[in-house]
Amino acid sequence: MYPKAEILFPPSLISSLRNLREQGWADLVDRVSKLSEIDLDTLAFCLLMIRINSCLKCYSGSYKFMRGCEACAMQSITQFKGDETDLLQLYAHAQADIQNYLDGNGPPDESEIIIESHPEDELADEEFYI
């Protein structure tokens, strides 16, 4: 009944995001999509997408869930308000967060990262602090 939806953004969808932004984004997608699922850069990319997609707020009855992860991710990247530099900076921040966690420094302070919500979210006029 529903397209395939995961609990969190899956690495198998990374390559589907290649042609949605400028060349720097495409280069990042190309590089990360060739890595294993447990590579630090793949984990950082998935964390970036979890934050942008608001995966932690998705649930089985939501509009986003019903559309599926691929459609949600494509829409999130296409409608991201910042430019390519902003996306790449958020990716670098996700890399640092993963590395800090692996170094034993605990989880990142998610209140520092502001990602605008999807237009179809129930609270679309508010920013999500994740």
| Within-domain flag for 30 | yes
List of residues 6+ apart from 103 with CB closer than 8 A: none
For residue 122, pLDDT beyond 70: no
| Within-domain flag for 1 | no
| Within-domain flag for 95 | yes
* Domain count across the chain: 1
| Within-domain flag for 2 | no
- Which tens digits make up the pLDDT trace of 82-116? 999 999 999 999 999 999 999 999 888 776 565 55
d(CA 126, CA 51): 15
- Which tens digits make up the pLDDT trace of 35-77? 999 999 999 999 999 999 999 998 888 888 888 999 999 999 9
| Within-domain flag for 6 | no
Question: Tokens for 57?
Answer: 């707020």
Identify the domain containing residue 89 by its residue range.
11-129
Plot region of 103 (φ>0 → left; ψ -120 to 50 → alpha; else → beta): alpha
d(CA 66, CA 52): 18
d(CA 96, CA 126): 26
Residue 129's pLDDT band, with cuts at 50, 70 and 90, is very low
| Within-domain flag for 5 | no
pLDDT of residue 42: 98
| Within-domain flag for 3 | no
Decide: 51 and 118 in contact? Cβ < 8 Å.
no
| Within-domain flag for 90 | yes
pTM above 0.85, yes or no: no
Question: Tokens for 85?
Answer: 């530099």
Which residue in this structure is represented by tokens 């992860």? Answer: 69
Question: Tokens for 12?
Answer: 């198998």
List of residues 6+ apart from 63 with CB closer than 8 A: 120
